[in-house]
Amino acid sequence: MASAADPEVIESLRGIHEKLDVLVSGEVAPAPVVADNPGESLALEAVRKDLNSSFLLFCAALVFLMQAGFCLLELGCVRAKNCLNVVMKNAVDFCIAILCFLFIGFGLMFGKSVGGWVGGDIQWLSNFQGGSDIWVFFIFQAVFVATAATIVSGAMAERTKFVGYVLYTILITAIIYPVLGHWAWGAGAGGLEENFGGTEGWLESKLFTDFAGSTVVHGVGGACALAGVLVVGPRRGRFAKDGTPLLITGHNIPLVALGTFLLIFGWFGFNCGSNLVAGAEIGRIAVNTLVAAAAAGLTGMMAFWFRDGRPDPLSTLNGILGGLVSITACCHTVTPASAMMIGAVGGLVSTLGAEALLKFGIDDVVGAIPVHLFNGIWGTLCVAIFNENGFQVSNLGVQALGAFGMTGAAFAVAYGGFLLIHRTVGLRATEEEEEDGLDFSEHASNAYPDFRTD
């Protein structure tokens, strides 16, 4: 194999550079750069492959940063006596997600399909060479798994035993997410040059589209959060005896804002990286992502403002996140004008959905269920509703089948898993543990030792 310092490679790269200089100078009409010899063709291919790999790895790093965003958002929404527990859950679920996906989940998600339902045989990762595309593809997919897992943490905060949460995290990262992900993304490495042996899942074969995971990541995570909240029950003092919601405020709303801004930043990697290659189309994907977030933030704010006569920070911030989830499935097939409408509805869904949950006595600390589950379904339907190539009823039917089928399956399996955990090792903290705070009862420590944290 030729090294980077070989004269033939250097000469090929010099030829490429000269052709690009001519194009930029405008001396001749722009035309595709055609390789004059096999060496130049190989050099062009190597540059293109390295560019795409670097782009995807950078996007994976942005998605990883979303873990910090979720952590800060949840920290701000809980009371001070539960902060260390939040930190532990967000750190440990990431560690579990990476290892479970490495040993079990990746094969179930991207292996050769068994009837379209689950991945089967795939080479053990160690069998691939160091220059394979599979490494950067694995990293990008692994941080998605961690994102889906940590969605549940905020919804169930302040009353969940740490060991119960750990066991649930193993379930979603090793089984629930990979199997359901295979339905929609089984051949998901198709944008890369190398074929890893993955084949289409049953939804994928029906042309179901979820570009970056409105349903696969957020809908599945939100459905698991709903299952967990129903099993664990509301926090003590969240509802009066007649079911009237009582206010329990988070201890640091500025942390929620900082977490939201980090999530916006990470979402560029989430959506643009799902293109898998650094093509020109990532520009509009990024624009659609930002436009949807902005429109959703305003509608989330206005919905609360009209009802209570004042703008509410949490409604605004959750509105932004709802818009981001909404645009995730369709950011590659809609115009910015459509993205604005999609996001505007997403902001309303986040705010009004949170109010609806309270009427049913469901205690979701951070608003994860309306943001991720409700908007995940809405965004997936938008692939058909706002498609720039035109609306087709058949496409809407496929999108609805995928959105409700995947979230329904995730809810059923997660609910069964949470019930099993609850009846064996225990899921709900005792009244005394909840009153003292999970920092003390679970970790024998205190996030703010110099302050009173009641």
Mean pLDDT by 10 residues, the chain (454 residues): 50 54 45 57 84 95 97 97 97 96 91 89 73 90 96 97 96 97 83 62 96 97 98 96 94 97 98 94 98 98 91 96 98 98 98 96 98 98 97 97 98 98 96 95 89 60
Residue that has been written with the tokens 């309306």 in this structure: 370
- Pairwise CA distance, residues 454 & 447, whole Å: 12
Cα 366 off chain centre by: 16
Q: Mind listing the pLDDT tens digit for each residue in 386-400? A: 999 999 999 999 999
Predicted confidence at residue 189, as pLDDT, reads 57
At residue 22, the pLDDT reads 44
Distance CA 321, CA 338 (A): 17
pLDDT tens digits for range 222-272 = 999 999 999 999 999 999 999 999 999 999 999 999 999 999 999 999 999
How crowded is the C-beta side of 60, counted as CA atoms within 13 Å?
19
How far apart are alpha carbons 67 and 78 in whole angstroms?
17
Q: What is the pLDDT of residue 450?
A: 73
Question: From its phi and psi, is residue 340 left (phi > 0), alpha (psi between -120 and 50) or beta?
Answer: alpha
What pLDDT is recorded for position 36? 56
| pLDDT tens digits along 176-188 | 999 999 999 988 7
Neighbours of 54 (CB within 10 A): 12
DSSP secondary structure of 339-383: HHHHHHHHHHHHHHHHHHHHHTT---SS-HIIIIIIHHHHHHHHH
Q: How far apart are CA 32 and CA 86, in angstroms?
A: 53
Q: List the alpha helices (DSSP H) in 172-219.
A: 177-185, 202-205
Q: Taking the model in full, what pTM does it have?
A: 0.90
Question: Cα dist. 454→177, 235, 445 in Å?
Answer: 37, 15, 14
Q: Which two tokens stand for residue 429?
A: 């903290």
76-107 pLDDT, tens digit per residue, is 999 999 999 999 999 999 999 999 999 999 98
